[in-house]
Structure 1
Amino acid sequence: MNKPNLNTVAPLTRRSLLRTTGLLGIAAVPAVSLLSGCATGGSDASSGTSPAAAGATSAANPLGVDTSAPLEVYVFKGGYGDDYAKFDEAIYKKSFPKATITHNGIQQVQTELQPRFVAGNPPAVIDNSGASAMVLGTLVGNGQVTDLSDLLKAPSIDDPSKTVADTLLPGALTATTFDGKVMALPYVYTAYGFWYSQSLFQKNGWEWPTTWSGLVTLAGKIKAAGISPFAYGGQTAPDYFMQPLISLAVKLGGVSTVTDIDNLKAGAWQSEPMQQAAQAIAALVKNGWMMSGSAGLTHTQAQTSWVQGKAAIYPSGSWIEAEMKGITPDGFDMVLGTLPSLTAADQLPVTALYTGASEKYIVPAQSKNVRGGLEFLRIMLSQSAATHFSELTHAPTVVKGAASGQDFGSTAFGSVTKAITAAGDNTFMYLFPSWYPTMATALKTEIGNLLAGRSDAAGFLKKMQATADAVTADSSIKKYTR
């Protein structure tokens, strides 16, 4: 996945991918362009850039691909590698045997491809991910990426009676929708929550709770066993704890709790659900349940302590297995614990899940084979391609039912697919950090202060509300709504 993000290779981590390109990332709308030297042909973000005209269409070629046009594919070679794309390329080649396919696995996406955009000859399809990803909001604003509406309206490969859009999981396209137009395809579906070692829990007779009071009781038992209940990386990723906090608040107050925050609604950070959720997280700190020294650790160091058994519970997205590959001891058996219900009055079920999608694929508007790029994405969204991806990477895709019931020998993957299935349509996410960079910075600082005990719940919410109010009052900042 980009972790998808599910990053896990070299120094490029899944975390850096998700946080740089999206969820936290999400629609990545920057204040400063990372492609300031790029040509700006095409239309603006409000109108989008429509795909090139289709050629002759048929049941086998619904998008009207030029069957002999070359196809250039660039894939971010991070934690997921790039072999999965070669499988998809082989399917494309079988459908269009006259087409020459060029595969490129890269890590420095912006560095390698920015010159292609400047020159007006970008490739057909790009996995725009990793720490060096191009900023999607800038590409959209410059009219440099293709509106994917034709792809989403096209018949799916597995069942032509359904459109491609019909085959996607809830919320899969939220992060890449600009003014109602989908401008990129996030491929990896990420689930967030608290992670723990199944073998450690079984050894101690612990069970994952369904209520917050049950988690509080469990934390006391873990502490009594000589293990820190929680760990976090205060230096690089204290905001990992924001997903648990928001999950508690949304389950209590409903999805409007987070959409009000994203939409800069007055007083949204001071809502009752947000107050109760922040108080619950602050209580973990007050009770001494954070691993000592967490505030000074990077996320990698904190995760290492976790897999070494020094802490029992760690907040993260489902890229965690890939990110800790090679470090996690055999038999650790990590699994995802869905956030418990905060109160008996929660509006959403305990199975409701914070999710996001990453590993964002784009089809450049100036590509010489836009239709081929769209068809390649249609292939990626087939059951066979999506299942193959999950088998290779232990990461779920945005395709409904792909790899359903399979775990490929991974307790982590198995737990994630079960959680996604159980959640159904009860999924949610927040978008404000990538819409408003100043809020992203404030969030990281203020939740770090909360977790380190330097502020309390009221102080955390007050600072975040003040930042939101400042963004609202700044007429120079473009506002987004959902």
Structure 2
Amino acid sequence: MRMHIRSGRVPEPRSGNASQNLSAQISTARPSTEEPKMSIDPEPASSVPTVARRSLLRGAAAVGLVVVPGTSLLSACATSGGDSETDGGGGTKSDKNPFGVKEDAALDVVIFPGGYTDKYATDVHEPLYKKAFPKAAIKHEAVTEISTVVQPRLASGTNVPDMINNSGSKLLDFGAMVADKQLADLTDLWDAPSVDDPGKKVRDTVVPGTVERGSFNRKPYVLYYVSTVFGLWYSGKLFSGRGWTQPADWDAFLKQLDDIKKAGITPYGYAGANAAYYQYTVILTHAAKLGGQEVLKNIDNLEDGAWKQDAVKQAATAWAEVGAKYLDKAYEGLKHTDVQLQQNQYKLAYYPSGDWLENEQKKDAPADFTYQLLPIPVKGKLSTKAVRATAAEGYLVPAKAKNKAGGLEYLRQMLSRAGAKGFGELVGSNTVVVGGAEGVTFPPGVTSSTNALKAAGKEVVDFFFDGDYKDIEQECRTATNALMFGRETPDQFCERMQKKADAVKNDKSITKFTR
């Protein structure tokens, strides 16, 4: 499973898949980590920084998500880079070495081995770096609990990794790290010459919105690398064999859940132990389809009463009914891998997740399982075709990295055509690199999510509170389980979430972000 969090997806489960033709709505959601919040010195209310960011360009989605190979979505700007310098990482700067990496400087890479595993790093990205710097020794670390293992190293300022893939249920708190100045500014990366064409800046080779997605206070600190689409997943083989088709609306969905239940199959399920993020994504996407993107924008901006909006209450009510009638209560104690395996054994019909699911389950799912995605079957201000799509999988360079130049260069190699294509071929997921998936054949599930994203057009939604405010994200997981497993009413869910959001809003020690 995978989590994206804009300041931090997803729970321990995770992985990410995307479409060959990327959506311009680059957003990111990652579950917050369970580590203690880093302290931030209180500031007067008037000085609490806010950031107007994420004006995500949806044009690519509007025109069918097709990117012409070899073209840039932004105007290309030639970079200077021709003059050599000797500062930076200790090496000589040039178009091929824009950060001045010292050719024999060791590089320490930390990767979260979730649904994507860490083979894309060992088999694709690290070899690309090694090709550019043959004398460099690369230390590769696969770390499941990122915050538990890495945070002490960052805090001590010694043995600091040079590049970190921050993901999973134990990811680092991006917002707190930005406030504590623990992240390197990635402006130099985005302004550097691209690996494939020195006449283009790296920022000109990625889908619009990518840089903004990882920016805080208008400064870029995080590279979100993978494009991801969310929805309800089912087996094409199971459904076709039973004569079940995609429901056209909510009433048809509920009727189908009844039919599935009568067939002796659990109609709907998610893992309460570590994947409540998947379910609150469904609830909030449902709310946005009823009330429009403003519903989520209000939540992200900590607007008064945002969690008590009618659309949120209606969505919570609808899914509480699903939980009461169609959800196996035993799932609350299970982890994502347990529930996903039950679906692969045809014991569970619908499962909420991102399109990394197919890759994550490729060892357990039958070869003819045929993953398919169903957008939340409800309409209001948005149509039933609307989906949540985001850029996920956060990568960062620590401010105190010993080989910071090498960390930046590693990200630049990831953003090359070879880096993107190799990633896609290995894990069946797409990246934010324009044309990076050219020639890659994706499996049925990713093909399905690609088609869903294309059909959504401009109706692509996302939220960011989960990455910006760890406390709210954690509360939402707990509240979602209480709602779905029948311990709290929809009104109590909304009240509980509003109380937590208000507490964060009124805490002057927490940096605020706006969209």
- What range describes the TM-score normalised by the shorter chain of this pair? 0.7 to 0.9
Aligned to 1:83: 119
Aligned counterpart in structure 2 of residue 388 of structure 1, from 422, 444, 447:
422
- State the match for 2:482 in structure 1: 449
What residue number does 2:77 align with? none
- C-alpha distance 2-169 of structure 1, shift in aligned 2 (>3 A): farther
CA distance 1:220–1:161, shift in 2 (3 Å): farther
| Contact residue 3 and residue 188 of structure 1 kept, 8 A | no
Structure 1: how far apart are the matches of 2:458 and 2:408? 27
Structure-1 residue corresponding to 2:302:
264
C-alpha distance 447-138 of structure 1, shift in aligned 2 (>3 A)? closer
Is 1:337 the equivalent of 2:342?
A: no
Q: Distance in 2 between matches of 1:350 and 1:163?
A: 38
TM-score, normalised relative to structure 1: 0.81
1:335-414 matches, cutoff 5 A: 335-340=372-377, 342-343=378-379, 345-347=380-382, 349-403=383-437, 406-408=440-442, 410-414=443-447
2:13 maps to amino acid: R
Distance 1:81 1:475, change over 3 A: closer
Select the residue among 248, 260, 264 that pairs with 1:226. 264
Name the counterpart of 2:44.
none
**SS, match of residue 121 in structure 2:** helix
Which whole-Å deviations, capped at 9, do the CAs of 1:365-398 have from their partners, x for residues lacking one?
A: 2334333322221221122211211211223323
The TM-score with structure 2 as length reference comes to 0.76
Q: How far did 1:261 drift?
A: 0.5
Q: Is 1:100 aligned with 2:136?
A: yes
Structure 2 partner of 1:460: 493
Whether contact under 8 Å (1:251, 1:350) holds in the other structure is yes
Preserved CA contact (<8 Å) 2:269 2:331: yes
* 1:411-422 aligned within 5 A: 411-422=444-455
Could you tell me which runs of 5 or more consecutive residues in structure 1 were left unpaired when the two chains were aligned. Answer: 6-11, 36-43
> For residue 506 of structure 2, what is the amino acid of its counterpart?
A
CA positional deviation for 1:114: 4.0
Counterpart of 2:178, as a letter, is V
Distance 1:159 1:29, change over 3 A: farther
Higher relative contact order (CA 8 A, sep 6+): 2
Question: Aligned partners of 1:119 and 1:379: how far apart in 2?
Answer: 26
Matched residue type, 2:229: A
Q: 1:15: how far off?
A: 4.4
- CA change 1:224–1:406 in 2 (3 A) is farther
Report what 1:209 is aligned to.
247
Q: Is the 8 A contact 1:172 1:356 kept in 2?
A: no
SS of the equivalent of 1:189 reads strand
Q: Which amino acid aligns with 1:442?
A: E
Distance 2:306 2:462 in 1: 15
What corresponds to 2:43 in structure 1? none
How well do the aligned residues superpose, as a CA RMSD in angstroms? 3.6
Distance of 2:275 and 2:95 partners within structure 1 = 48
1:181-260, aligned counterparts within 5 Å?
181-260=219-298
Task: Please state how far the C-alpha of 1:426 moved relative to its aligned partner.
Answer: 4.2
Q: Is the 8 A contact 2:34 2:170 kept in 1?
A: no
SS of the equivalent of 1:355 reads strand
* Cα deviations by residue, 1:7-37 (Å, 9 ceiling, x for unpaired): xxxxx943499xxxx96526879763399xx
Cross-structure match for 2:109? 74
Residue 344 of structure 2 corresponds to which residue in structure 1?
A: 307
Alpha-carbon distance in structure 2 between the residues aligned to 1:207 and 1:308:
20
- Distance (whole Å) between structure 2 residues aligned to residue 151 and residue 427 of structure 1: 28
Q: 1: distance between equivalents of 2:36 and 2:160?
A: 24
Query: Quick one: distance in 1 between partners of 2:444 and 2:452?
Result: 12
State the distance in 1 between where 2:203 and 2:321 align: 42
Q: CA deviation at 1:183?
A: 0.8
1:293 alignment partner, SS class: helix
> How many angstroms apart in 2 are the aligned matches of 1:68 and 1:240?
43
Secondary structure, counterpart of 1:14 in structure 2? coil
Supply the AA of the counterpart residue of 2:103: S
Separation (CA, whole Å) in 1 of partners of 2:278 and 2:422: 29
Deviations 1:23-60 (A, max 9, x none): 6526879763399xxxxxxxx9999xxxx858765444
Residue 65 of structure 1 corresponds to 100
Query: Which stretch shows the higher mean deviation, 384-393 or 192-201?
Result: 384-393
Match of 2:314 among 262, 276, 294: 276
The verdict on how the C-alpha distance between 1:216 and 1:399 changes in structure 2, with shifts beyond 3 A counting, is farther
Task: Give the distance between the partners of 1:436 and 1:23, measured in 2 at CA.
Answer: 13
SS in 2 for 1:315: strand
Report the equivalent of 1:9: none
Change (3 A) 1:83 1:434: closer
Letter in 2 for 1:317: G
Higher alpha-carbon deviation: 442-451 or 208-217: 208-217
Q: Which runs of 5+ in 2 are unaligned?
A: 6-10, 17-26, 41-47, 52-86
3-state DSSP class of the match of 2:364? coil
Aligned equivalent of 2:63: none
* Equivalent residue runs for 1:149-168 within 5 Å: 149-159=187-197, 162-168=200-206
Contact 1:279 1:457 in 2 (8 A): yes
CA shift, 1:2, in A, is: 5.1
Structure 1 residues 57, 424: closer, same or farther in 2, change over 3 A? Answer: farther
Residue identity (%): 35
Aligned equivalent of 1:32: 37
Give the whole-Å Cα distance in 1 for the aligned partners of 2:267 and 2:208.
32
What SS is found at the alignment partner of 2:350?
A: strand
